[in-house]
Amino acid sequence: MHKIDMDLVEMTMDVMKYVIDRISNTKTTINKPKKAEELKALVGETITKSGIGGEKAFELWKEHLTKSNVPIDHPRHLAFVPASPTRAAIMFDLVTSASSIHGAYWMEGAGGIFCENEAMHWIVSLTGLPEGAFGVFTSGGTAANLSAIVTAREYWRGLDTANENKKGLVITSIGAHSSIKAMAKVADVDILLVDTEDVMTADALNDVISGLSASQRKRLFAVVATGGTTNAGIIDDLNGIGTLCEKEHLWFHVDAAYGGGALVADSVRHLFNGIEKADSITIDPHKWMFSPYDCGAVIYKKPELAKQAHSQEGSYLDIFKDEGAHGFNPTDYQIQLTRRVRGLPLWFSLAMHGTDRYKQAIERGIELANIAGEMITKMDHVELVREPSLSCVVYRRKDWTPDDYMQWTYRNHESGFALVTPTKWKTGNSYETVSRFCFINPDTTEDDIEQILKSMI
Ligand SMILES: Cc1ncc(COP(=O)(O)O)c(C=O)c1O
């Protein structure tokens, strides 16, 4: 397995050919999943005592298995938060794998971590956080949010011994991503929700804080605002919330996992004013910074607080803390020890193309959302639920039931035409099923949008 022979050389060529074909292919099909039993029937036993051989396994992958994956970068994949990694970043993902780098400690991964940090300096510069702020790349937004919540909780516990045995409390809004609630559970803290899916304002937050009982107020240690909600691209009142958090001595976390890429876009940058007040920020390069999966990031105003929360101790790790190995150790600032240098593909793509190209590609996503908004306004059968925000458009097909939306999604997916999925929008106490676009891929065309909207007639 670890020797070089002809089979390996041939397999390397086959793999490189596949990769070149895939990344230069501008006509991917949307594909749909098959059931596990169907896939099993197609490929048979693949894990056997003596192996089925690389050629056969790769054939099965190309012939059957890859066709059961939906390419996230298809220009008519406008569901969830899609992705569109640059070709340069994908290539360097291969280089990252081939280089076998342990990205936890500078001692072993200095070259790779240096590159990650170059990319991180650029991301941090977009936030306007003060000198000294810095971050690390994580497996995604969920891990970044967890790392930030744990840092905030540990900081709060360290402030007062009375906090040590208390269960912490965090306030966010119902527009926040599901990972905030899920990670609060992992960190064993309670969550209170400001009842809005629209902009969370400082006033609304203040009302919730004022309504807390004395014991709840003592347990409250953090507020999570969103810089681009997943459902509608809404940016909370970061300035007002940041100021309130300062006054109330609360940790201010901004989840900009999806929207963070738009910090580089001049047309919307003002919407993020106040993000520079954050104690921590999540931004996912694998969403709107065109990195391959997986690549999230967590940034801290005071990274030393994250280090106090996350730095692992063990006799086998002492060597990494030794003078001779001093340097930046990414493991100290988030939940993971062994890690891929997953910021490396982003670094290469940024270095190759320059940050202006990122600005243009992100502005294009915003422009596509505005174009879609205008088209929807002009068509009779659809209407906007709210104005487009960032690259999200939430709209309704007049007179449709939830089942109509579902059937339309399945039909489009089945025929390989598009992937656009329904969501729910909360107004007052009621939830309405609606449709939603999220634009990431700058190669999506106006014609794609028009065709999708017309397929709803
Ligand atoms: C605002 C926001 N936060 C967090 C996440 C979770 O990120 P990940 O899926 O990378 O863990 C998402 C995912 O869409 C998101 O939109």
pLDDT by residue (tens digit) across 105-144? 999 999 999 999 999 999 999 999 999 999 999 999 999 9
Residue 188 has pLDDT above 70, yes or no: yes
* Mean pLDDT score, 239-259: 98
Give me ligand 1 centre to Cα 47, in Å: 34
Residue 431 has pLDDT above 80, yes or no: yes
- pLDDT at position 325 is 67
Nearest-atom index, ligand 1, CA of 228: 1
- pLDDT at position 337 is 97
Q: Residue type at 100? A: S
Classify burial at 272, counting beta carbons within 10 Å of its beta carbon; exposed 0-12, middle 13-18, buried 19 or more: buried
Give the model's confidence band at 27: pLDDT under 50 very low, under 70 low, under 90 confident, else very high. Answer: confident
Q: Which of 142, 275, 282 to mutate to test the pocket of ligand 1 (most atoms within 8 A of CB)?
A: 142
Give me ligand 1 centre to Cα 84, in Å: 16
Residue nearest atom 4 in ligand 1 by C-alpha distance: 141
The string over 371-381, giving b where at least 16 C-beta atoms fall within 10 Å of a residue's C-beta and e elsewhere, is bbbebbeebee
Give the model's confidence band at 323: pLDDT under 50 very low, under 70 low, under 90 confident, else very high. Answer: low
Q: Residue type at 257? A: A
Residue 318 has pLDDT above 90, yes or no: no
pLDDT digits over 196-206, tens only?
999 999 999 99
Give me ligand 1 centre to Cα 79, in Å: 13
Q: Are 236 and 226 in contact (CB under 8 A)?
A: yes
Residue 322 has pLDDT above 70, yes or no: no
Give the model's confidence band at 452: pLDDT under 50 very low, under 70 low, under 90 confident, else very high. Answer: very high
Residue nearest atom 6 in ligand 1 by C-alpha distance: 141
Tell whether ligand 1 has an atom less than 6 A from the beta carbon of residue 177: yes
* Mean pLDDT score, 33-41: 97
- pLDDT at position 292 is 98
